[in-house]
Amino acid sequence: MTLKGTKKKRRPSDSSPVNYRGWSDLALQTSFTFAGVVLIGVFGGRWLDTHFGTTPLFILIGTLWGIVAGLYWLIMKVREFGERQEDKEGKKSD
């Protein structure tokens, strides 16, 4: 119980706080980018199918292209984010 006007003393913590904002930013950015790339592939494939008269072919190719491109982007971003986190942890321990 604390008296009015006094503050509780905080105990020093051995572990450093986790930066959840960085992870949530990465998740949000990844979800929108992945969805956007897949949708571009689907609609681009649909347009090509109507243009050339090959109904399921280009939609499937566009969807697969979007998934592969999204996964490639995801892998690159996670690597970049991991390297930044390692750099931050390395600077804190110095």
- Radius of gyration, CA atoms only, the chain: 23
pLDDT of 1 strictly over 60: no
pLDDT in tens, 35-89: 999 999 999 999 999 999 998 999 999 999 999 999 999 999 889 988 888 887 7
Delimit the domains of the chain by residue range: 25-89
Residue 63 pLDDT: 95
What secondary structure does DSSP assign to 71-93, as a single string? Answer: HHHHHHHHHHHHHHHHHHHHHHH
- The Cα-based distances of 25 to 1, 22, 29, 49, 90 in angstroms read 38, 5, 6, 36, 22
Using an 8 Å Cβ cutoff, are 39 and 66 in contact?
A: yes
